[in-house]
Structure 1
Amino acid sequence: MNTPWAAVAAATAFVWFGMVLAISFIEAPLKFRAPDVTLRIGLGIGRLVFRALNRAEAVLSAVLVVAVAAGGLPAPVVVPAVLVVGLLLVQLLAVRPVLNRRSDRVLTGEDVPRSRAHLVYIACESAKALLLPALGVAALSV
């Protein structure tokens, strides 16, 4: 086992965790409470912010995969790493396209009902928010 790779995995997990907390649980809900932010403006900003977050998450997930694979890290690190990368893939490949189609409709002025896909996205973010610090602590314990 290679402890520098465990340190890389831990650092990656904690940076990723901070980004998820800051964007998904602080910025996203607060932007709609700001004065004069309409649903259209909030959605437009949200799409840009979450696109940037997801790109950063993709890079972090690649770093994490390399660290776990190259370091031969134990199961308590591998399992949450696989789960968190899997959740990101679900978000990027299954949930985000549905949300993007809905937000496209809203941005054109169409009145559309709330989407259950949004709840799935929140559930994935919540699971990542639990898994990432557990992953970081497990990697620090190697």
Structure 2
Amino acid sequence: LTDLGTYAQRAGALLAAETGSESAGDLARLLAALPAGTVGVTLNPGALIINGFSPLEAVAALGSQIVYVHAQDGVRDLAQGRGIEVQLGRGAADFPALLGALEEHGYRGDWTVVREKAENPLEEIGQAVSFLQSL
């Protein structure tokens, strides 16, 4: 990862690990073992929720290392024993609180709407953009 991150920096890019499949603490420990600034974090609140983790805890643990945000939402489906993706603003992600927490850590970067299983992608992405603009 160090070599990839260093190469990305030389190429004018940034290597970022996306949150979701591991706890924020585990990811923070991995990043702490690397040279500072080599690898950043892409925060994905939906992926965190789907996998049983807290997006706000992730921002608290990784805030200064977050370089990009995926705007995705999710809920835990206890009947199925896993989480599912839902339309932005209709899940468990508290986007106003996330925005505030990110601002406290100095994040002023971009957000990309992520919707993997939309019935009407154009409409849902448009609604997601409107939702984010309303914050």
Compute the TM-score of the two structures, normalised by the length of structure 2: 0.28
Higher RCO structure (Cα 8 Å, ≥6 apart): 1
Which structure dedicates a bigger proportion of its chain to helix?
Answer: 1
Higher alpha-carbon Rg: 1
Name whichever structure is richer in strand by fraction: 2
